[in-house]
Structures are given as C-alpha cells and as structure tokens.
Copies of this chain bind each other. A is one copy, B any other.
Amino acid sequence: MTRDTVRLADLVARFGGEIVGDAGVQVCGIATLRGAGPTDITFITHSKYRAELGATRAAAVIVSEAERHSTSLPRIVCRDPYAYFARVAALLHPPPVVVPQIAATSVISAEAQVPRSAAVGPGCVIERGASLGEGVALGAGCYIGENASIGDGSRLYAHVTVYPQCKLGARAIVHSGVVIGADGFGFAPEGGRWLKIPQTGRVVIGDDVEIGANTTIDRGALEDTVIEDGVKLDNQIQIGHNCRIGAHTAVAGCVGIAGSTTIGSQCMIGGAAMIAGHLAIGDRVVIGGGTWVTRSIDSPGTYLSVIPATESGEWRRTVALLRSLERMSDKIRDLERRLAELEQEQ
C-alpha cells in the first residue's frame, strides 16, 4: 500500500487545530508514541505518556492544550487529540475503494436489485426481492435473503448472512461471520416438550452501524428487533429477539442481551456483560464489563457486579465465608441482644 503524504498545514485546514512548529512537515502514517518512525505523526492522550513522548521518533505530534509545551516536535494543538487522531488515521488509511463488479461465481436472483455501483464478491448469493444500495460492497460468500435490503455505501466482509426481510441502513460495516435475522429463541412449553413459535419479525438496522465478527442479532418474534443509528457492536455479541438498541450506544465483545430488552441511546456496555430479557435500560447508562443486569435501570450512571480475580486459596475462603454469611448475621444479632442485656444490668 503506497500511501499519500500530507502536510501538517493540510491537516489543520481539514480538521482544525493550531500548528506549533514547522507547518510544512510531511507525514504519511500515524502510529503510537513508541511505534512511530520519522514519517509518522503520533498523538498523546494523557500526561502519563510524557516519557514516551520525550522518546518518540515521530515527525509530529497531536497534543491537547495541556501538552502544548511537552515536546519540541512540530505539533498540532487541539481540543481532543484522540478524536483528532481518529480523523487523521481515517484520512491516511481510507477504506479500500469499492470497485464495482459482480463476481462470476455469485448467484443473483433476476428479481434482486443490484446497482451498477455495487461490488459483489465470489460466491455471494442474493435472493429475489433483495436490494443493495449504491456503492455497497459484499465480500466473498455473503448471503442476502429474500427481500432483505442493504443501505447505500455499506460494506459486508466475507461470510456475512442476512436472513430474509432484514434491513440494514446506510454505511454499515459488517464483519465476517455475522448472522442477522436468525430465528429468536421462542418456544412454548407443552407437556414436557417445546412448540416452536414462528419468528415473523425482522431485524431493522439504522445508518452508520458497525457489527463485529461472529455477532448474531435475532429477528423479532412478532415485531422487529431494532438497532438504531450509530450503534457500534463488537465481536461475538448476541442480541435476542425484539430488542431495541438506542442510537450511538456502544457494546463491547461477548455481550449477551436477552429478548425484548430495550437499551437507551449513548449507553456503553462493557465486554461480556449480560442483560436479562424484558428490561428497559435508559439513556447514557454505563454497564461494567461482566456485569449481570437483572433489573431495569432508569438513571444514567455506572453499574457493576463483577468480583475481581483473587488468589485461589484466598478466594476459596471468601466463598466459604459467603456461604456462612447467614450464620454471621445471626451471630451479630445474638451478640447485640446479649450485649444489650449486659448493658441494662450495668
């Protein structure tokens, strides 16, 4: 990959900020403080990295106002170096250009809509009634079911499965192994057996959503499962039927969200958190990694329930003590009673 070169002056013209030092310095890559070489621009997000800043070999640095004087390198001073870094990185490492083409080994229904601007990889299958938006890119072996639709500018990597009727918005990024719209887990018990409940809803996904590898989002039972605009889902997440995830909520890897739960907008759900079904989580709620949510949460705030790893001997004692909590509580009550008697006799 030959990459374009860009001057600090060009960056500031695009993204704002103030240059301190030589505005003509050219960079062609972005890197960490440690990893940067003489053609890279780097960035510092926290004063604790000042020692690394002192040792960096980068050509230039993105800094906050607080770090304006922490280096003598050419630098861009801005309000939020991490966001600035994201923009510079996106400029220097744009996603691959979509070259419109239809692979010979793809199988596309005559009743599907595939615009000339789309790219369809080898082995893709697009069923009747399905439609791709302008500039959509499907990696190898994607499956787009009947009447499913993919919004403009979306990119599906290899081996993504979209079940019938499901809808993705514009500019989606969907990684390999994702399954959108499989049946939710709906069964009625009857005489020790399970009757399957047809899952007749869809998955409806807004614009600017990213979905990580091997994540699964089930179709609704009767109504739809909804993922709103700007939601970011990491890998191996499971979202049950009839859930709704609010706009711009980010969900880290290995999270499970059981059916019919609604999550507000701008929430952050830590890795491997598990959220029970039929709950309502409000806006701007932060759930810690591994936390188990069993009740609805109204108010913004941070919620936890994970106990950190402990050396095994100490942990075994803790578990034993946990099991004796009831006895401890009884003993305290007994002590209180006996002490009160003694005090009275005094």
Chain A residues packing against B (C-beta within 8 Å):
30-32, 35, 80, 82-83, 85-87, 89-90, 92-95, 103, 105, 107, 121-123, 125, 139-141, 143, 145, 157-159, 161, 163, 173, 175-177, 179, 182-183, 185, 187-190, 192-198, 200, 210, 212-214, 216, 218, 222-223, 230, 232, 234-236, 238, 240, 248, 250, 252-254, 256, 258, 266, 271-272, 274, 276, 287-295, 297, 301-312, 315-319, 321-326, 328-329, 331-332, 335-336, 338-339, 342-343, 345-346
Q: Out of B183, B214, B309, B310, which one reaches A179, CB within 8 Å?
A: B214
Residues in chain B near residue A289, CB distance under 8 A = 258, 274, 276, 292, 294
A selection of 29 A-B contacts at a CB cut-off of 8 Å is A35-B222, A90-B196, A90-B198, A121-B125, A161-B213, A176-B182, A179-B213, A179-B235, A182-B213, A183-B210, A185-B212, A187-B232, A194-B230, A213-B216, A235-B238, A236-B256, A238-B254, A258-B271, A271-B274, A303-B311, A307-B307, A317-B326, A318-B323, A322-B322, A328-B329, A335-B336, A335-B339, A338-B339, A342-B342
Contact A287 B309 (CB under 8 A): yes
How many identical chains are in the complex?
3
Cα A164 to Cα B322 in complex, Å, equals 47
Cβ distance A86 to chain B, nearest Cβ, rounded Å: 4
The one of B141, B159, B248, B254 that contacts A274, using a Cβ cutoff of 8 Å: B254
Judging by beta carbons under 8 Å apart, are B305 and A315 in contact? yes
Q: Which residues of B contact A250 (CB under 8 A)?
A: 187, 194
Top 3 closest A-B pairs, CB basis?
A: A182-B213, A93-B198, A302-B312
Q: Nearest residue in B to A258 (C-beta to C-beta)?
A: B271
Report yes or no: A158 in contact with B197, Cβ–Cβ below 8 A: no
A185 with B252: in contact, given A140-B125, A335-B336 (CB under 8 Å)? yes
Whether A256 pairs with B274 at a CB distance below 8 angstroms is no
Instruction: Please tell me which one of the listed residues B32, B195, B304, B305 contacts residue A90 in the complex, with CB atoms under 8 A apart.
Output: B195
